[in-house]
Amino acid sequence: MKIELKPIGFVRTDVEKVPRHWTVSDAKGAIVIEDQYKEGLKDIKPGQRIVVLFYFHQSPSFTHDLLVQKPKHSSEYSGVFNICSPVRPNPIGMSIVEVLKIEDSIIYIKGLDMIDGTPVLDIKPMTERTTYDAD
């Protein structure tokens, strides 16, 4: 099976030291969306939180010995699927950021934990858990 993903845009920021995770970030930047996807930004509003799926384009290649890793902020080792390491079998990241404003095809955001030039694969609305009927 072959899976091909194409970026819908790229992160732009002048932040030199990006926070390690969106939950501890107040860093600001922008997501510049390719013109062909601009209409897909309809109804995204300032103050809204969005989920950004991105590609860890500068991560080293994954090897089997990295199935268990020790994050820099921890003294314990953990499985790669239980941590947010950028070194993973499929180098896909996820962040939840706050929309500050939208101008044309640029989403200005806060809570950035991606470096300048990071390819954005998708954007989804952040939704809170809801209760569904069992029907």
User: Domain count of the chain?
Assistant: 1
**92-134: pLDDT as tens digits:** 999 999 999 999 999 999 999 999 999 999 999 998 776 666 5
CATH (domain of 75): 2.40.30.70
Which backbone phi and psi does 38 adopt, to 5 degrees? -55, -45
Residue ranges making up the domain that contains 72: 9-125
**21-67: pLDDT as tens digits:** 787 788 899 999 999 999 999 999 999 999 999 999 988 888 888 89
Task: Say if 13 falls within a structural domain.
Answer: yes
